[in-house]
Amino acid sequence: MEKETAAVARNRKVVLRGYIDRAPREDDMELVDGGDVALRVPEGAAAAGPAVLVKNLYLSCDPYMRSRMRDFQGSYIPPFKPGSPIEGFGVGRVVDSTHPGFSAGDFVSGMTGWEDYSLITKPEQLRKIQQSDIPLSYHLGLLGMPGFTAYVGFYEICSPKKGEFVFVSAASGAVGQIVGQLAKLHGCYVVGSAGTNQKVELLKEKFGFDAAFNYKEEPDLAAALKRYFPEGIDIYFENVGGPILDAVLLNMRVHGRIAVCGMVSQHGVTAPAGIHNLFSLISKRIDMKGFIQSDYLHLFPQFVDDITKHYRDGKIVYVEDMSVGLESGPAAFVGLFSGKNVGKQVVRVSQD
């Protein structure tokens, strides 16, 4: 009965200060006092259509958000608005709703703002979460966009076959850790790369990769891949771009597949690193395919069923890097681009 007992609350926001064309820095964002917010859907908003007022609990830090900090309209998603809160996936609790599908107290995931309370004027994009043994924040990772990206990318783009040789870059990240575990469940041989020895250990000990290496300790990446894949790579799940992709191209097998998911090493770069070995696409007849999970939303229910079952059966684990407090959001986000995060980066705004 929040409507009666707490008519207003203080709202803080993390806003974008202005567009950038380089790797993001903490001071590109700013925590501002958003004043009081009435804990109900305002009458004006309600008149424009159903709306939901959400208390944000967990916010997701995802590399693609970097592209919304540029003043570029030509992408599949528009840029952020300077002075307005950063937008991203989040998990929240419904405070008030004029949409018949949502009631106060419901837990939801979907696009929200980096603030304590968000008024969601397109509630049809929200998903209701059934609370269970699965941590709420996992709906931003294992059961959210990154997990679905891994699922779609591996099964729909990579066309995996049992026994194939799979390489995953940024392998301990939000997407990579799931790709590797799905590939193992599929009967593939899986090697991952990461940027610290701690992450390499995680890949081998926690996620069950067959092998893993620290790419920063390999002066010759092509030679390293040759060592881990003497017979070559059938499937490369591409999360980073740059020199690793070039080295992979020299080590692919005939009829190999490359699922191009992210190029996080190139996100902050005005002049992205050149890729020099694309001639391998011809000699090895490689299919290199970019994809975005939102093209495959018809598979989402199946994904949730499959992954939930694997998780409950103990066949998939998930590692998160939780940063505490809305004010920690900018640093957490910026850390993605230097690989500071260990596992899926989320920001806990509130526990209730």
Phi (first) and psi of residue 245, to 5 degrees? -60, -45
Residues binding its own copies: what is the number (CB under 8 A)? 34
Cα distance between residue 146 and residue 172, in whole Å: 12
Whose Cβ is closer to its own copies: residue 117's or residue 165's?
165
Q: Which is nearer to its own copies, 289 or 310 (CB)?
A: 289
Considering only residues 267 through 306, tell me which ones interact with its own copies, judged by CB under 8 A: 271-292, 295
Tell me how far, at minimum, the Cβ of 290 lies from its own copies, in Å. 3
**Structure tokens that stand for 325 in this block:** 């407090």
CB neighbours (10 Å) of residue 12?
18
Structure tokens at 45: 């908003």
Q: Which of 159, 131, 150 is nearest to 192 (CA)?
A: 150
C-alpha distances out from residue 121 to 40, 59, 99, 258, 274, Å: 13, 18, 10, 38, 42
Nearer to its own copies among residue 144 and residue 262 (C-beta): 262
Binding residue (CB under 8 A) for its own copies from 29, 37, 225, 263:
263
Nearer to its own copies, 73 or 130 (CB): 73
The Cα 116–Cα 346 span in angstroms is 15
Q: How far is the CB of 272 from its own copies (least distance, A)?
A: 5
Q: Least Å distance between CB 220 and its own copies?
A: 16
- The dihedral built from the CA positions of residue 92, 94, 97 and 99, taken in this order, carries a sign that is positive
Q: Which of residues 108 and 245 has its CB atom nearest to its own copies in the complex? A: 245
In angstroms, rounded to a whole number, what is the distance separating the alpha carbons of residues 325 and 16?
17
Residue with tokens 């990206």: 149
To its own copies, the closest distance from the beta carbon of 213 in angstroms equals 23
Site for its own copies in 198-257 (CB under 8 A): 241, 245, 254
Nearer to its own copies, 18 or 74 (CB): 74
Write down the least CB distance from residue 76 to its own copies, Å.
5
* Shortest separation between residue 74's beta carbon and its own copies, angstroms: 8
State the binding string over 25-54 for its own copies (x if CB under 8 A, else -): ------------------------------
Which residue in 113, 144, 180, 262 binds its own copies (CB under 8 A)?
262
DSSP codes joined into one string, 101-127: T--TT-EEEEEEESBSEEEES-GGG-E
Q: What is the smallest separation between the CB atom of 336 and its own copies, expressed in angstroms?
A: 16
Q: Which residue has the tokens 């980066």?
A: 345
Q: Which is nearer to its own copies, 52 or 264 (CB)?
A: 264
CB of 250 to its own copies, least distance (A): 9
**Cβ 225 to its own copies, closest distance in Å?**
14
Q: Which of the residues 66 through 125 are near its own copies (CB under 8 A)?
A: 67, 75-76
Closer residue to its own copies in complex, CB, 75/121: 75
Q: Which of 72, 64, 121 is nearest to 89 (CA)?
A: 64
For residues 116 and 12, what is the distance between their CA atoms, to the nearest angstrom?
A: 6
Beta bridge partners of 322: 346
Q: Which is nearer to its own copies, 281 or 317 (CB)?
A: 281
- In whole angstroms, what is the distance from residue 161 CA to residue 156 CA? 12
The site for its own copies (CB under 8 A) is made up of 67, 75-76, 241, 245, 254, 260-263, 266, 271-292, 295
